[in-house]
Structure 1
Amino acid sequence: MNVSLRALALVLGLAGGAVARADTPPPPPPTAQQLEQRLTTVERQLQLAEESLRQVETKYSQQPEPDEAQARVRRYSDAEIQYLLGDWTAASVHFYDLVSDPEFRGHPRYADALYFLADALYQQKNDVGARLYLRELLSLPTPSLRHRDALTRYLAISGRLNLYDDVDAYVEQARTLFGGQLPADIQYVYAKRLFRRTDLAPSERIAHTRAAFAPLAQAHGGPYQLQARYHMAVLSMQAGELPIAILQLQQLLTPVEGAAETTAPKTKNKPQVRATADTDTERIRELALMSLGRLLYEAGRFDEALDWYGRVPQESESFPESLYEIAWTQVRKGNHQEAKNAVDILLLVSPESKLAPEAKLLRGHLLQKLKRYEEAIASYDELIGTFRPERDKVDVLLRANRDPVAYFERLLARTDTVPDVRTVLPPLALKYASTEREVSSAMKTVSDIDSGRKGTLEARELAARILTALDTRKLQTFPELQEGFTLSDSVETASIQVEASLVELEGLSLESSLTADERARLAPLRREREALAVRFASMPATQQDLEERLRRMQARVDAVDREAFRLGAEVQGLHAIAAAVRKWVDDTRLLRQTPPEEEQEFLVQLQAEVQTLTDLQGELDRTRGRLADERNGAAAALAGEQAIRGRFAQALRAEHAVLEEVERRQAPSGLMTRAHAVRQRGEALRGRVAQAQGALRGRVEQKATRIRAKVLAEQQLLERYEAEVAAVAGNAKQLVGRIAYDSVRRVRRQFYDLVLKADVGVVDVAFTEKQDKTTSIQKVSAQKAEALRALDADFRDVLSSEESR
């Protein structure tokens, strides 16, 4: 192709040079040998074009279209590759496309596709979706090779979601599947399910759970032996069998390999057995040490409790808690200095711990006991100075709104990012609100609903874009077929270049035989052809030319897209400002003297601005979508320059028709015979190009029809999903508004209690100090009276003798 362009440029340059230098003698006509060499070059050019077309036919137009079964196998292979690469999002999309195809349900790999889809969703923390497809896998009439893994994962997810309605049926299914004996992993999940049940009486739950954990605890060297033994100890705690629980934990700690999970209630101001979950060996040891220390504390065996608490490693997350409980154990022993030392270490190693405020209160109490009153008051004052301003801020937040629940609902409804009640709290209060488990769970629920709503909107927009592309862009929608079409375009361009070279060659060969009339007829035709040749020569004739022009056009589209992104960031910033202004209006309502009607007018204007910003954001999103379509469709725009090729080919045919009349008057020559053969091959080549392009367009229509049917079916599903999301979204927002309000109230109550205890501590220190001074004064007075009595006794005789005188 490059050779043909250079040959054409040479011919055009020679012709242009003849026009530009009309006053110079024309160059001598080429010899027969030179014409033969030029024709040989044209034949090579045509051969290269034929080879390119064979590539198009082999790879694209004549490649057998895979049937549906083969297409499904290829899609499964692509999905499995994405799964193995860890691209969970892409894998879930591919596998969903497969499992939603009714024809794929009878495929041997249908069960594997269900499992891989569920696992890909599970890796994305989409437990609900993973559970749905695992249940579908488990409901297949014939158990698959992945039935056991699916059952284990299903039970684990059910436990995490606290959904146990159908667990018993699946456990019985597993018993049947494994000959009446559950595998260790399924047995462990089932036992944990019993451990967490709340619908049974405590005694019944403990009995059933012990029976479930017993086989695992007795399996020496089993994978879940230590976990089961730890749960057995916790069950003994819950049953009130403290001596047995102590013995079980002591046996567990020698040696320790594994992990565990416990649960137990907490009470105020003293250590209690706590339950957590972990599979790490060191974590089991830490949990066992803490639990054993607490049990011994409850039993009044303080020295032993201190010994076990002291074994918690410093790098453990339980180390601050162990120090706090060591301090309380020392308090119970009456060792106030040792207790203060433990508190000081806690505040040194973990000053940001949740236990720090309670530890500071305890330190003030211990300093009071040690009669270090000034230090005690300083400790209380530090606590008061930290938490009283935060408590007052929360009070203002709660009092500024007549309906706090509605306030939080509005706040969450206008949050652009993930809704989070913590954004409304003062900085210090944020840490304490973030620890509320129900708040976190509620926020995750709202976030999931919001993500689902956004996902359905994005899916609807994507479906509309796909349908628009199928209707208007067609070939651009399928890059592989478009690539074949682009290559066929380059082959057509090369064939026309061959025709141009042949016309030039014929003109040079027949120049001496032209009559004056024929020269007059050829002159305008040649001028038209030469003018078109300039535009034709600028067309990309090779793959490299196409890629270069494509890069230039895509760079222009990218520049516009970057500007649209920048404007989108500005719009989002304005959204945040509007949300902040609305929050300020709500938070400062009690502090301002603004008339209600003026505030209402301002809020109406603010809402209008917000709506304008929303409209702008939507327009920017649509613009960026169109830019993405234009960027992807740039190649087709470059490859569709049919009009220029058609006009140039028509000009070549007109010039050839005049030359053909001249040729008929002469005897046939070998050169012209070869030229006719090359022209016939070129015409045949263009016919094959037309056939290839027709076949490619036919495939585009077939693919578009199939995809359009799938998209329309997905649109119907989207309508149902949108209705379901809309049905639960309103109730969820109200629920989270209530939870958010309750969370803020709890934070306020927590701060209130801390400040109150510190205030009481200050009063208590002052009262104790007064009592100490009063006692000291009374003691001194008593000593003074005693001394006076002693002096009176010593000098009584002297006084008596003096009186007698």
Structure 2
Amino acid sequence: MKFRGAGVAAAAIAAAALHPWPVRADALPDVERDAVQVEERLALVESRSAREDEPAASRAARLFSEGETQYLLGDWQHAATLLASAVDEPAFRASRDYPAALFELADALRRQGACGAARAPYEAYLALGTPDRRPDALTGAVECAVKSGRPEAVEPLVAEAERAFAGNAPPEVRYLAAKALYGRTDLPAAVRLERAMAAFDAVPAPYRQQAAYFQGVLQIEQHDLAAAIQRFELCVGEKAIDDRQRAVADLCMLALGRVHGELGHAAEALGWYQRVPYDSPQFTDAMYETAWAYVRAGQHDAALRVASMIADLSPESPLAPEATVLQGHLLLKLGRYAEATDAYSRVINSYAPIRDELDAILSMREDPVRYFDELIGRQGKAFDVATVLPPVAVRWASTQRQVSDALTLAGDLDASRREIDEANAVSDRIDALLAKGNGLDAFPALRETYATAQAIENAAVALQGRADDAAYAAVAASVAGDARAALDAVHADRVALGRRLSALPRSAADVRSRAERLRGALDALEGEGFRLSYQLDDAKAAITGAEAWLEQHRAEIAADAEARTEFTGELRKHRAVVEGYEAELRALRQDVALARDAAAGTDALAEEATLRSAYAALAARELELLEAHRGGADAGALAALDRAGALAERLAAVRKRAEAAAARVAADATRHAGELRDRIAKEKLAIAGHAEALAAVQGDTKDLVGKIAYQSFSRVRGQFYRLVLKADVGLVDVAWARKRVRLEKIQQLSQQKGEELKQLEDDYRDLLREVD
């Protein structure tokens, strides 16, 4: 008996330790008041969970409204995203807004430059036969057909546009139709020229300037230079109202200078060249051709001044070394041999090492075409000409139309591959999210409602514990012996578990606060990721700067070509390392994104449910033990026990209602997740089809692009060979000119010496006779 009393005392001491302050028996009114508040929060959650889901048609109508707003604001990318989602909804196709959504989607894509993507919505819109906005749709479809290189599609569209506009198609349509005819290489040359000229004749303002330029080009193709001059003068005479028209006017001025130069009209050619503005992209070409016009006119000093300016004003232009060679020729003609030698030497010192490096690059493999194929066909990385050629050669190669198109094609293929990889990553991420918690984690609003229902259960269980505490405080004093020990043990276990329960959220505000804490930690990780990306950008900039410095001081370090080549190779290796880090960082960011999806997810809620159930079971057991000792309690304790029992039933009902609300939310999430997973499965199939098509395109184009790259780089090497050869010949010409000058001077001195000796003989002839 003594031992039992010691156990009771120990349980009482443990209970006292768990309660730093005494539990009042009169705390039940506070619990009842808090229970009312919990019921009110539950009613709000029940109203949310009972709402009907937004129908697909209503959702599509809302997306269209939002997309149209972005379209009117000029946010083409955002508008296209929203409108595409609306158009893809089958339930929306019966809506009267469906044609408008198709047109605005196509127009938004066209304005972004995505004519390939705009083709399908344009065709779908035109197929509806809707008269509203049909003329604008035809105009956009014609523009996209021209830009996409589909001349066969232009004529039917133009014919339909003529019908839609009652024979008065807008200027843009007429201009685009004429431009498409100009590019019809499938037609016989004579037919193409005749039809294109007639089509450009029919183009009204504000496209008269562009039409006149193309007509001038067509006249040059027909070798009618006098007629070409008239067209180009008409082009220049049109008032330019925007940057595009000013650029066309600059082209026409340059063309007039060339045509007059071809006809031998030096003064007129110079006049047109000098009218090209200094801020025009054609200014360097105009200056170079001006220098040659002065040369043809025999004005060598003026030609030298212009040629000298080109290297200073446009040092990066491929014309700069040509102008330096011309400068050397002119200095040679003017007899300024030291300056001519310096000009030629600058070209040799700058471009001979690049020529040698290109030789090494193009001859480093037995089959150079196959080498470029391998470079271009590497998976996961676009063919970057900067990783193969020296910077100066890159600039020269990029100016060639073929290599520019080849590199653009390789870049587009790589971009497409990255987009497919990103699409797969996004679909995998969404799939993983939809699979978690029966889809609850994928829908933030539903997840928050579900978590709030769970928080209300936490609050109800906690209130039940407070009610048990009040009942325990009222009844426990009347319990003794082994019964008290059992009661205190259950009470101690519940209080200990209650400490863990107290950390759980009990309201929507608590749920949001916990989610914000988790997101804050992930935000810190993302911040580190951004800082690392900046560091990688800094490293890439340092590598680029080192390459630029190496190129800038090429002439100074020309003597150690082997060390320069080794250093260049090291820079390329470092660039590859940095690119590897970038790939790792992208993978880490994907992991952070997945962790963000899991933050405040349903996994934690499942653990909370286990803890809550254990606490509720202990609370019910404790109340059951208290009920078993009603006989020894006074009237006040019995009243407290009755109120606690009523509260337990009331809070159990709250928990049941909260569970039902959570179940409804979970069912909605499961249904939504199923619908989305079906759509994602279809999208994955489409992505797989795109990947196969892209692989086929890569296989078809890899060899072609490799050959184009090799041939273009070979041409660049040839240009450097010719450039250095011109400079070498110039140095030889300077040496011969100096030798010729010296020979002429020696001959002059010898002749002068002979004449002077003869004069001396004549002067002293009489004296010599007397001596004799």
- The TM-score normalised by the length of structure 2 is 0.82
Q: Choose the corresponding residue for 2:181, options 191, 194, 208.
A: 194
CA-to-aligned-CA distance 1:7-31 (integer Å, 9 cap, x gap): xxxxxxxx98972599x9x98x96x
CA distance, structure 2, for counterparts of residue 317 and residue 619 of structure 1? 41
Aligned to 1:54: 43
Q: Which amino acid in structure 1 is aligned with residue 156 of structure 2?
A: A
Bigger drift between 72-81 and 402-411 goes to 72-81
Listed as ranges, the matches of 1:115-264 within 5 Å are: 115-122=103-110, 125-138=113-126, 140-143=127-130, 145-217=132-204, 222-254=205-237, 256-258=239-241
* Secondary structure at the counterpart of residue 137 of structure 1: helix
Query: 1:706 and 2:664 equivalent?
Result: no
Give ranges in structure 1 of 5+ residues lacking alignment. Answer: 1-14, 260-277, 578-590, 593-609
Aligned to 2:566: none
* Secondary structure at the counterpart of residue 473 of structure 1: helix
Q: Choose the corresponding residue for 1:406, options 357, 370, 379.
A: 370
CA distance, structure 2, for counterparts of residue 400 and residue 619 of structure 1? 31
CA distance, structure 1, for counterparts of residue 230 and residue 408 of structure 2? 41
CA distance, structure 2, for counterparts of residue 758 and residue 146 of structure 1? 62
Query: 1:352 and 2:316 equivalent?
Result: yes
Q: Which amino acid in structure 1 is aligned with residue 152 of structure 2?
A: D
Aligned-CA RMSD value: 4.1
Aligned to 2:29: 40
Q: Which amino acid in structure 2 is aligned with residue 453 of structure 1?
A: R
CA distance, structure 1, for counterparts of residue 584 and residue 307 of structure 2? 59
Q: Report the CA distance shift for 1:84/1:335 in structure 2 as closer, same or farther (over 3 A).
A: same
* Secondary structure at the counterpart of residue 93 of structure 2: helix
CA distance, structure 1, for counterparts of residue 46 and residue 128 of structure 2? 46
How far is the alpha carbon of 1:769 from its aligned partner? 3.5
Q: Choose the corresponding residue for 2:617, options 647, 650, 672.
A: 650
Bigger drift between 341-350 and 740-749 goes to 341-350
Is the CA contact (8 Å cut-off) linking 2:209 and 2:238 kept in structure 1?
A: no
Listed as ranges, the matches of 1:491-530 within 5 Å are: 491-510=456-475, 519-530=484-495
CA distance, structure 2, for counterparts of residue 782 and residue 570 of structure 1? 76
Listed as ranges, the matches of 1:662-701 within 5 Å are: 662=629, 678-701=647-670
Listed as ranges, the matches of 1:423-434 within 5 Å are: 423-434=387-398
CA distance, structure 2, for counterparts of residue 318 and residue 619 of structure 1? 44
Q: Report the CA distance shift for 1:135/1:203 in structure 2 as closer, same or farther (over 3 A).
A: same
Q: Choose the corresponding residue for 2:734, options 751, 765, 774.
A: 765
Query: 1:364 and 2:351 equivalent?
Result: no
Aligned to 2:451: 486
CA-to-aligned-CA distance 1:257-299 (integer Å, 9 cap, x gap): 246xxxxxxxxxxxxxxxxxx6143x34433332222222222
CA-to-aligned-CA distance 1:586-639 (integer Å, 9 cap, x gap): xxxxx99xxxxxxxxxxxxxxxxx9xx99x999997776455333322212333
Is the CA contact (8 Å cut-off) linking 2:455 and 2:507 kept in structure 1?
A: yes
Aligned to 1:607: none
CA distance, structure 1, for counterparts of residue 128 and residue 389 of structure 2? 54
CA-to-aligned-CA distance 1:322-347 (integer Å, 9 cap, x gap): 22222111111111111111112222
Aligned to 2:554: none
How far is the alpha carbon of 1:115 from its aligned partner? 3.8
Aligned to 1:262: none
Q: Report the CA distance shift for 1:380/1:72 in structure 2 as closer, same or farther (over 3 A).
A: same
CA distance, structure 2, for counterparts of residue 311 and residue 458 of structure 1? 50
Is the CA contact (8 Å cut-off) linking 1:481 and 1:700 kept in structure 2?
A: yes
Query: 1:463 and 2:450 equivalent?
Result: no
CA-to-aligned-CA distance 1:729-786 (integer Å, 9 cap, x gap): 1222222211111121011100111111122222223333433444455455556666
* Secondary structure at the counterpart of residue 185 of structure 1: helix
How far is the alpha carbon of 1:405 from its aligned partner? 0.8
Aligned to 1:747: 716
CA distance, structure 1, for counterparts of residue 586 and residue 388 of structure 2? 29
* Secondary structure at the counterpart of residue 317 of structure 1: coil
CA distance, structure 1, for counterparts of residue 651 and residue 147 of structure 2? 71
CA distance, structure 2, for counterparts of residue 422 and residue 203 of structure 1? 42
Aligned to 1:638: 604
How far is the alpha carbon of 1:679 from its aligned partner? 4.5
Bigger drift between 387-396 and 521-530 goes to 521-530
Is the CA contact (8 Å cut-off) linking 2:331 and 2:340 kept in structure 1?
A: yes
Aligned to 1:279: 244
Q: Which amino acid in structure 1 is aligned with residue 681 of structure 2?
A: L
CA distance, structure 1, for counterparts of residue 378 and residue 533 of structure 2? 18
Bigger drift between 556-565 and 156-165 goes to 556-565
Listed as ranges, the matches of 1:438-449 within 5 Å are: 438-449=402-413
Is the CA contact (8 Å cut-off) linking 1:227 and 1:258 kept in structure 2?
A: no
How far is the alpha carbon of 1:86 from its aligned partner? 6.6
Give the length in aligned residue pairs: 721
CA distance, structure 2, for counterparts of residue 563 and residue 368 of structure 1? 62
CA distance, structure 2, for counterparts of residue 566 and residue 334 of structure 1? 62
Is the CA contact (8 Å cut-off) linking 2:454 and 2:659 kept in structure 1?
A: no
Is the CA contact (8 Å cut-off) linking 2:209 and 2:236 kept in structure 1?
A: no
Is the CA contact (8 Å cut-off) linking 2:61 and 2:86 kept in structure 1?
A: no
Q: Report the CA distance shift for 1:783/1:415 in structure 2 as closer, same or farther (over 3 A).
A: farther
Aligned to 1:737: 706
Aligned to 1:597: none
CA distance, structure 2, for counterparts of residue 21 and residue 540 of structure 1? 21
Is the CA contact (8 Å cut-off) linking 1:224 and 1:258 kept in structure 2?
A: no
* Secondary structure at the counterpart of residue 203 of structure 2: helix
* Secondary structure at the counterpart of residue 165 of structure 1: helix
Aligned to 1:310: 274
* Secondary structure at the counterpart of residue 432 of structure 1: helix
CA-to-aligned-CA distance 1:310-363 (integer Å, 9 cap, x gap): 233333333322222221111111111111111122222222222111111111
How far is the alpha carbon of 1:84 from its aligned partner? 6.1
CA distance, structure 1, for counterparts of residue 120 and residue 403 of structure 2? 25
Q: Report the CA distance shift for 1:189/1:64 in structure 2 as closer, same or farther (over 3 A).
A: same
Q: Which amino acid in structure 1 is aligned with residue 45 of structure 2?
A: V
How far is the alpha carbon of 1:676 from its aligned partner? 5.9
How far is the alpha carbon of 1:103 from its aligned partner? 4.0
* Secondary structure at the counterpart of residue 644 of structure 1: helix
Query: 1:454 and 2:418 equivalent?
Result: yes
Query: 1:531 and 2:528 equivalent?
Result: no
How far is the alpha carbon of 1:421 from its aligned partner? 2.8
Give ranges in structure 2 of 5+ residues lacking alignment. Answer: 1-11, 544-560, 563-575
Q: Report the CA distance shift for 1:294/1:115 in structure 2 as closer, same or farther (over 3 A).
A: same
How far is the alpha carbon of 1:653 from its aligned partner? 1.4
Q: Report the CA distance shift for 1:484/1:791 in structure 2 as closer, same or farther (over 3 A).
A: same
How far is the alpha carbon of 1:142 from its aligned partner? 1.4
- The TM-score normalised by the length of structure 1 is 0.79
CA distance, structure 2, for counterparts of residue 72 and residue 241 of structure 1? 59
* Secondary structure at the counterpart of residue 49 of structure 1: helix
Q: Report the CA distance shift for 1:624/1:773 in structure 2 as closer, same or farther (over 3 A).
A: closer
Query: 1:109 and 2:97 equivalent?
Result: yes
* Secondary structure at the counterpart of residue 418 of structure 1: coil
CA distance, structure 2, for counterparts of residue 239 and residue 621 of structure 1? 56
CA distance, structure 1, for counterparts of residue 434 and residue 94 of structure 2? 30
How far is the alpha carbon of 1:726 from its aligned partner? 1.9
Aligned to 1:19: 16
CA distance, structure 2, for counterparts of residue 232 and residue 618 of structure 1? 51
Is the CA contact (8 Å cut-off) linking 2:325 and 2:726 kept in structure 1?
A: yes
Aligned to 1:321: 285
How far is the alpha carbon of 1:223 from its aligned partner? 2.6
Is the CA contact (8 Å cut-off) linking 1:203 and 1:239 kept in structure 2?
A: no
Identity %: 35
